[in-house]
Chains A and B, each alone.
Chain A
């Protein structure tokens, strides 16, 4: 089946189309995070820590007419009765929302220097669509930067796990015999390790003082380390059945060397399975990363990821007073749901055996 035919079939599936739109929007937003977010990942102002989302007003207070949207600045006051800080809008000065404003400087994709942000308000006004966290950082901006971690970790993990699984399963199935038995026993041992305990033990031994980028890649490697074994078993099974087909026999008779047969002729046959495994595998990584970071073992502060943003919501009183802290959870849910829907649709298209059941 050509890629075009697959896409045409995918477009007929309404749920898959909606899911694709959601994913395109999510990936688009995190790709343009520097530009879309009004503040940088680490920007903070202590005075507005835990402030609620900034209200956006459209009616002018004096004339009662519709005007250009504007915000008020929050001022913090200590309430001696509830014994907590409360935020009140300071009604004396309005701050209209401006588009394409000059703000903090950044390097777009690490290359192009710029200071233009999609929207913002003049200082000292602040705009926080999802409020500010306990360090006074803008949740909306951090959500975008955190997404860069959470949404890419799956692909990176599979980028490591799939080649290993493919080669391992391919070699094991093709050679067969004693080597096959030994290799599969080893894969089974890998699968016999209780995953979550292995995950938290591995994550706990990562030194605390390593740079965040290295920590990020090590978390990816840990996740991939767990994922390859199951894949290699499936690939081995497929290779076993493909291997006995005539064209492989012919190649062997022609004297092609084994490695070439495995990589050039056997493994490409498993392509449709791999495509499905990728789309259905990414959600697992997204969930694993969020779970790890939620426990404080994955991505560490001050870097953002959806999991560690939720860590702040671990305290029940925090969620009740600031329910918007749960937005990362909503985004995890949406992303995983979309990947699952697309994966199911792809499986129906690529694997005719399951076509009648929509998905399973």
Chain B
């Protein structure tokens, strides 16, 4: 299948996928269920007796919780707020209303409206600022990871079972077993004890007065800790995969043939073997693209990094439906898009692979 038709086909598949995900998310945020009443014919006259009373399980996520516990807010105001948010309508009406806002056209242009948060801020605006921070952190650590992990993996494979290989094996075993938030906690202690790195936020005081180069350094300084954690942890597994792939390829017939033909070892390894060994990792790149926004949630929360993680975590707890739905959709789109990109890239780098029908 050619690339354009794959893109078309995947986009068509993505539409129902995203619809189902949005419905699932919406239902989760809002649903309540009730059981009963259960009636059973009991007794000599087979009388219908209520065995289980009707019970309604309220969704513990209550968008109005903070208002309800505030004694200064009157009941009428509460109802008005409920009406304004559309919470008094049945679930499917709430959903279609949300969807129609998302897919609206204005003056012939597609102008999605993601709605407002409970605090009245524009969801699109708040997501854009926070997503930018998360994106910056994740792109930086992804680039560092690939730049460091690939050479390390190649190195380890070429020196298979050397001391260095064993040391790298131990490193990746440790890195893969380390929960990201535990490492974040340890480094946070380190930062506080030494005072070398700032904790929380992305800017120092007086940032606005700094010259541009100092502003850049300041942001990088704040990025250092979270980037370090994410990079080290992902190097652990990527390095390992690169090593495994290259070891596989080095055993292949054509590598032996290339050597037999008398090609210099460097050409055999770097031109033939390494290129083939990288191919499967392209699929990983797709997943990483998807994780660009959500991969760092725990680290962000522990280190107080102003990214999407903290925002979404609190949005889920407050049942800020518009915000949660928008972020859920955004990361789903990233995932679908990432997988598509991975498949296309794979056909470009490896002509043997054809796009699946």
Contact = CB atoms under 8 A, between A and B. Distances in A.
Report whether chain A binds chain B. Answer: yes
A189 B335 CA distance: 10
Given A316-B192, A357-B248, A332 B179 contact: yes
The binding surface of chain A is classed by DSSP as helix
A202 B182 contact: no
Contacts of B192: 316, 320
A294 B313 CA distance: 12
Contact of B28 (A201, A207, A337, A341): A201
Nearest to B182: A329
Nearest to A15: B173
B169 interface: yes
B335 A192 contact: yes
A333 B169 CA distance: 16
A310 B182 contact: yes
A24 interface: no
B150 interface: no
A208 B178 CA distance: 30
Contacts of A326: 182, 185-186
A193 B244 contact: no
Contacts of B324: 197, 201
Interface in A306-324: 310, 313-314, 316, 319-320, 323
Interface stretch (B57-65, B254-262, B268-276): B57-65
A22 B182 CA distance: 20
Nearest to B29: A201
Q: How large is the interface on B (under 10, 10 to 19, 20 to 34, 35 or more residues)?
A: 35 or more
Nearest to B245: A360
Interface centre among A185, A294, A320, A334 (most CB of B within 10 A): A294
A205 B177 contact: no
A314 B302 contact: yes
Contacts of A208: 60
B207 to A, nearest CB: 23
Q: How large is the interface on A (under 10, 10 to 19, 20 to 34, 35 or more residues)?
A: 35 or more
B91 interface: no
B316 interface: yes
Interface in B5-46: 13, 16-17, 20-21, 24-25, 28-29, 31
Given A192-B336, A294-B181, A294-B298, A337 B174 contact: yes
B301 A295 contact: yes
Interface string B203-237: 00000000000000000000000000000000000
Contacts of B181: 290-291, 294, 310
Contact of B179 (A192, A329, A360): A329
A86 B302 CA distance: 27
Contact of B182 (A197, A333, A360): A333
A333 B247 contact: no
A201 B335 CA distance: 18
Contacts of B28: 201-202, 205
Contact of A332 (B182, B188, B251): B182
A95 B284 CA distance: 59
Contacts of B327: 197
A360 B241 contact: yes
B13 to A, nearest CB: 7
21 contacts: A185-B13, A193-B24, A193-B332, A196-B297, A197-B294, A197-B312, A200-B312, A200-B316, A201-B29, A204-B316, A291-B298, A316-B199, A333-B174, A333-B177, A337-B173, A337-B174, A337-B176, A356-B251, A357-B247, A358-B169, A360-B245
Interface of B: 13, 16-17, 20-21, 24-25, 28-29, 31, 57-61, 169, 173-174, 176-179, 181-182, 185-186, 188-189, 192-193, 199, 240-241, 243-245, 247-248, 251, 290, 294, 297-298, 301-302, 312-313, 316-317, 319, 324, 327-328, 331-332, 334-336, 339
Given A192-B339, A337-B177, 5 more contacts: A192-B21, A194-B290, A200-B312, A333-B174, A354-B244
